[in-house]
Amino acid sequence: MRVTEKGQVTIPKELRDALGIGAGTEVEFERRNDAIVVRKAKGSATRGARLVDRMRGRGDVTMTTDEIMALTRAE
């Protein structure tokens, strides 16, 4: 792995997948002697939580939950 001129590196996909690190995930860096430890930031919102926060309050449907359920279960 090479560091770019901007100081960037690519985290291998198998490690990102195993740790649940995706685009937009916040990470922390820690120096341990001559090593750098990268980990998901503590307290950072999950991808699902970020999506819910972004969508909250944007709904414009005037139907009740029961009306929507009746539509999806039309007989």
Say if residue 32's pLDDT is above 80.
yes
Q: What is the pLDDT of residue 59?
A: 84
Q: What residue numbers bound the domain in which 9 lies?
A: 1-59
The arithmetic mean of pLDDT across residues 23-35, rounded, is 91
User: What is the pLDDT confidence band of residue 9, given thresholds at 50, 70 and 90?
Assistant: very high
Q: What is the pLDDT of residue 28?
A: 92
Say if residue 75's pLDDT is above 70.
no
With respect to residue 12, please indicate whether it lies within any of the assigned structural domains: yes
With respect to residue 46, please indicate whether it lies within any of the assigned structural domains: yes
Number of domain units in the chain = 1
Q: What's the CATH code of the domain at 26?
A: 2.10.260
Which amino acid is located at 36 in the chain? I
Q: Say which range, 2-16, 20-34, 38-52, has the weakest mean pLDDT.
A: 38-52
With respect to residue 26, please indicate whether it lies within any of the assigned structural domains: yes
The C-alpha atoms of residue 13 and residue 41 are separated, in whole angstroms, by 18
